[in-house]
A and B are shown apart, each in its own frame.
Chain A
Amino acid sequence: MATGVIEKAKNKKGAAEQVVDIKTGNEMAAIAASHVNFHVMGYYPITPSTQIPEETDRMKAEGEHDIVMIPGDGEHGAAGICFGAATAGVRVFNATAANGLLFSIEQLPVQSGCRYPMVLNIVARSVSGPLDIKCDHSDIMMALNTGWLIFMAKDPQRIYDFNICAVKWGELEDVRLPVMVTSDGFFTSHQLRRVEYFSTRDPVQDFIGKFKPGITAVDPNHPVTIGPYMNDPDLINNKKQQSMAMEAAYKHLPKIFEEYAKISGRKYELIETYKMDDAEVALFILNSPYDTVLQSVDNMRAEGKKVGAISLNIIRPFPADLIRQVFRNTKVLVVGDRQDSYGAWGGNMTHEIKSALKDDPENKTEVLSRIYGIGGKEFYVEDGIALLEEGLEVLKSGEVKKRYAYFGATETAKDYKPVQAFEPITEEEASPEIIRVELNPKTGVPEVKGVNMRALTKMPKRIVPGHGACPGCGIFPSIGNFLKGIKGHVVMLWHTGCGMVVTTGYPYTSFRTTYIHNLFQNGAATMSGLVEAYVERKRRGEIPGDEDLTFIMITGDGGHDIGIGPTIGAAMRNHKFIILEYDNEGYMNTGAQLSFTTPKCMITSTSHVGPAQAGKATFHKDTSQIMAACNIPYVFTAVESNFVDLVKKAAKAQWYAKHEGLVFGKILSVCPLSWRSDSRKGQEVIQAAVDSNFFPLYEIERGITKINYDPEKRNKKIPAIEWFKMMGRSRHMAKPAYAKITEEVQNEVDRRWARLKAMAESPVL
């Protein structure tokens, strides 16, 4: 694992042997996890925290630790997994960011209120919407009231060190609280820095000691009730205990830092200060920009300006007493907040500092709040200088002009002209009378005629050229061809994923028709509301009754892990719209982690292959059958390599969504980047999945199954391994070492196919 140089850390008496290396913040969190050797990691990928489970999984495959890696169905699920595991009496680990933190936040007070310690890395990122994957502190500041202890780690070294300290800290008998370690997304999580870590896990194990489980759910000799129904007058006492735990934690941390310094040679304080002794003006800033600000301070000191900087290594508990001390003589303090507490006239740190200073009657510091660096806006030495200069200006004029302001927001460029690349697509243009849907007079089933590839090149493109997907990406032919079968006006809602990210990078959009994004745990619910409101507006006469829109929700397969609940909800309510899943068998947008549809044994960035692990552990999920069980009018599967079938199904889908209710369709979609297949051979690769019966083409119309393409009857049937061999993610499955698993996968494919055939043969299934 270590590419680094092993050295007995110099000049550090008694310190254990360490490796000098260069690593990113996320890698350091994963190394810390492997050294702690947590029992369980429950996780769900979200940028920029994803490399933590990825690296942890990679090390697991190499046999470097024993952490049980459990992929959640979403962050809420991951948090549940962690809570459950903690009640079994083990050490638990997780990592998330942004909306992942928010999606799990409901669970966090459960963890802290029930007093189960664990460690959660927050790799700070802006909270949606609009969606931004880069760093600010709008996520972590939402967590201030969850009852967790919160570290702020400004560099990769601290991420490692604080993750280790977090274990010991949270587990102290009078603390027993879960801990977050917060680093800055990308700035710290993705920058390779020179770091040190212990060459073995032993010093860490000695430092944290053996885990003392406390009260567990798995001790039959001591039955307990965890999480009772507790109203007044009792709950306040439980919360008082939590508050007491915070006080204890605050008292203990300096001692933990001291002990840690003994083994590591790295000594931390609760608060970081720079040239604050005689500073008249100071800049408070958390995490990654702090080091840059030190340079700003030096530059200004060189000009004789008395400025300084401070930062915190913890924000929960908040070191109010130290804040009071450090600002005793500061005349002006500029607080850089990387988030806003909208309408409170300052970010959260501004308010916490102001409230701390209020308790010092002598304090006369003027406090300015500056909202900076939102959504990952870069921070340069000049920015630090500009912020300090604002403080100096107040010092000079004795007057505060703006207590609260945004720093770095910009006005529109003088020469900016909006681009009008197109006219809206008209109803007529989008209904070129090529395809006909006719009801079979005997069966009452819609039948589609006239699908012609050449003629259909006339269909106007609702998604225009100019998106940023990889060369050879299957999403766009899959969805584009589906849309050729849909006439008239469409409104699309896309879930978070590759398709959405590459089409709508502000200020550009590839959509020529109306498009909405909502995060992929909630698209179907959003679409339900939209469709019903549209119908109601028509009923009330607010929208002309003869106008017609077709509503299509588009998701990746990953969106149907985290968002399957709302999709099933929409199915239960049977709204009139289409849900289309492009299935590329993984979370590609976040860097190809496993999804539940990833086939067993395949390599993803969270299912590595190595001496201790053989790719993904479980079989692929069958979402089409889940949806069939919802008894919606129409379910289908399709692929780009069978164009006529795909377009027919689109036209049928539109008919059903208009007349009967919810439609679900799944299109297997090639991802040459993550499948590691030849981008040129997209159609061939997809067709092989069909010909191997891995992805059968069928439809379930009003509950009746029909197979649309039978490779056996056409003499096209191939063993699944022939498909696996076409892709780098599964080529290893042809090796003898994987023969047994490959056979299992083949058997599962055969079993599902036999079942499907039996359904197709039955008149009632």
Chain B
Amino acid sequence: MAKPKILPKVNEYDCYEIRMESIGGLGANVAGKILAQAGILGQGLNGLNFSSYGSEKQGTPVKGFIRFTEKESVRINSPVTQPHLIAVFHISLANVLPVLEGLKPEGTVVVNTNKTPDEIRDILKIPGGITVYCVDAIKITVEEKVRMNAPMMGAITKATGFLDPEQVKKYIRETFKKKYPQVVEPNCKAFDRGYKELQMKVLAKDDKYDFIEYHPFMSPIGYDTAPMGGVITDFGNAFIKDLSGSRAGYIPVWHEEECIHCGQCDIVCPDYAPVFGEGTDHKGKQGMVMRGIDYKHCKGCLKCVEICPTDALTGEIEAEVAEEILSTVPK
């Protein structure tokens, strides 16, 4: 294998591989495309880019894959399982998915967080020897009024060590200039900030956390016991799913003392998250009463906050809401 000229390292198939862990709506798809354009068209590499496929809606987990090579062709078109670099766009994903799965030793992790590399290390359980980059992409996104992908592209570009920021910006401009010329400059600025406003740390090689091997997704149920015809007999079993990772940052908080138990939140909620049951209301009367929000299923659309006729429901930034509120399970 000839030593690569641009890529700092490659795997046995001569590829440098990136995986982005995100949720639908943050723009990981477009980020993948722009980074691939920069590397392939701007810097003369070969490669490919795609996202996990499916009928993913907004808020559901998505993975973006980029593969770069200096060879004439890319043969491998399966998902990236052992990335050199993992970019985590949305930290709550770590609650529901092994986001660092398959990460290569001495690899790189880029995280959207306002925490320090040491703090995030313990949250994500990042193994020793890994280079960690932290970028407060949420802050930059809010300040520059762009999508999360812009600062994340900046951080990823820096973290790869080989992507040329000027090329990436060139393709950011190409992408937006025609349809949305007004967003070109804010995106470039957010990109620059993501590129610069980074905290980097190379973690010492220790045994604090283990590398997690890659496991292809396997349904727990196979051909020997699956009911014939694809029928699902466990009615309502989707209830066990944890959808909290779908929230893009906002959350409704319920204040019992303000609640008049009118039931309006129940009729607007797409996720059937407000929980009602028999009880005694604020006037001491028996009837159906609101008992709280099922945060496992709330996706944070805030329709309930909008409809609530009193101040019993308020929209808050999830990161600022106390853990004990989030972990309350209404009965």
Contact = CB atoms under 8 A, between A and B. Distances in A.
Interface of A: 3-5, 20-22, 24, 47-48, 129-130, 133-134, 186-187, 190-194, 288, 291-292, 294-295, 376, 378-381, 409-413, 415-416, 418-422, 424, 453-458, 461, 463-477, 480-481, 498, 501-514, 589, 640, 643, 672-673, 679-684
8 contacts: A192-B36, A410-B223, A419-B240, A420-B234, A471-B270, A476-B270, A509-B237, A513-B235
Interface residues of B, number: 87
Interface in B251-276: 261-264, 266-273, 276
Interface in B219-233: 219-226, 229-230, 232-233
Interface string B297-331: 10111110111000000010000000000000000
B75 A411 contact: no
Interface of chain A: mostly helix, strand, loop or mixed: loop
B219 A507 contact: yes
Nearest to B242: A466
Given A191-B49, A412-B225, A684-B306, 5 more contacts: A3-B174, A376-B53, A378-B216, A508-B238, A511-B236
A410 B217 CA distance: 12
Contact of B241 (A186, A288, A466, A512): A466
B114 interface: no
A165 to B, nearest CB: 21
Interface in B31-81: 32-33, 36-37, 40-41, 46-51, 53-55, 57-60, 73-79, 81
B77 A411 contact: no
Contact of B287 (A134, A455, A476): A455
Given A193-B48, A453-B263, A507-B220, A471 B272 contact: no
A334 to B, nearest CB: 19
B57 A507 contact: no
Nearest to A186: B53
A498 B273 CA distance: 20
Contact of A509 (B41, B58, B236, B261): B236
Contact of B46 (A194, A381, A643): A194
B238 A457 contact: no
Contacts of B301: 471-472, 672, 679-680, 682
B248 interface: yes
B112 interface: no
B92 to A, nearest CB: 13
Contacts of A470: 24, 57-59, 299
B217 to A, nearest CB: 9
A473 B174 CA distance: 32
A670 to B, nearest CB: 9
A419 B263 contact: no
A380 B78 contact: yes
B294 interface: yes
Nearest to B60: A468
B171 interface: yes
Contact of B246 (A192, A193, A471, A589): A471
A493 to B, nearest CB: 14
A283 B280 CA distance: 71
B193 interface: no
A465 B297 contact: yes
A461 B24 CA distance: 27
Contacts of B267: 453, 477, 480-481, 640, 643
Nearest to B266: A457
B236 A512 contact: yes
A471 B300 contact: yes
B2 interface: no
B299 A22 contact: no
A192 B34 CA distance: 11
A525 B138 CA distance: 50
Contacts of B216: 378
Given A3-B174, A457-B288, A509-B238, A673 B58 contact: yes
B287 A454 contact: yes
Contacts of B270: 469, 471-477
B222 A506 contact: no
Given A378-B78, A454-B262, A466-B297, A507 B237 contact: yes
Most A-side CB within 10 Å, residue of B41, B47, B237: B237
B138 to A, nearest CB: 17
A679 B236 CA distance: 26
A194 B40 contact: yes
B209 interface: no
Given A192-B36, A471-B246, A480 B272 contact: yes
A472 B303 contact: yes
B271 to A, nearest CB: 6
A473 B221 CA distance: 30
Nearest to A424: B235
A475 B269 CA distance: 10
Contacts of B288: 454-455, 457-458
B247 interface: yes
A507 B221 contact: yes
Nearest to A646: B267
Nearest to B37: A22
A421 B36 contact: no
A186 B78 CA distance: 11
Which 8 residue pairs spanning A and B have beta carbons closest together? A466-B238, A472-B301, A465-B297, A130-B230, A457-B276, A470-B58, A471-B301, A512-B236
Nearest to B224: A411
A256 B37 CA distance: 32
Contacts of A295: 13, 75-76
A461 B221 CA distance: 27
Contacts of B246: 468, 471
Nearest to A588: B57
A117 to B, nearest CB: 32
Interface string B274-300: 001010000000011000001011011
Nearest to A504: B232
Contacts of A422: 235-236, 239
A295 B71 CA distance: 13
A192 B50 contact: yes
A464 B296 CA distance: 13
Given A455-B287, A466-B243, A512-B235, A191 B276 contact: no
A683 B76 contact: no
A412 B261 CA distance: 45
A509 B77 contact: no
A675 B50 CA distance: 25
A336 to B, nearest CB: 15
B257 to A, nearest CB: 18
Contact of B232 (A413, A454, A498, A506): A506
Contact of A416 (B220, B235, B239, B269): B220
Contact of A412 (B59, B174, B221, B233): B221
A4 B78 contact: no
Contact of B268 (A193, A418, A477): A477
A393 to B, nearest CB: 23
Contact of B75 (A294, A502, A509): A294
B51 to A, nearest CB: 7
Contacts of A381: 13, 76, 78
A466 B240 contact: yes
Contacts of A418: 233-234, 237
B58 A508 contact: no
Contact of A467 (B238, B287, B303, B306): B238
Nearest to A684: B306
Contacts of A474: 270
Contacts of B266: 453, 457
A191 B77 CA distance: 8
Contacts of B58: 470-471, 672-673
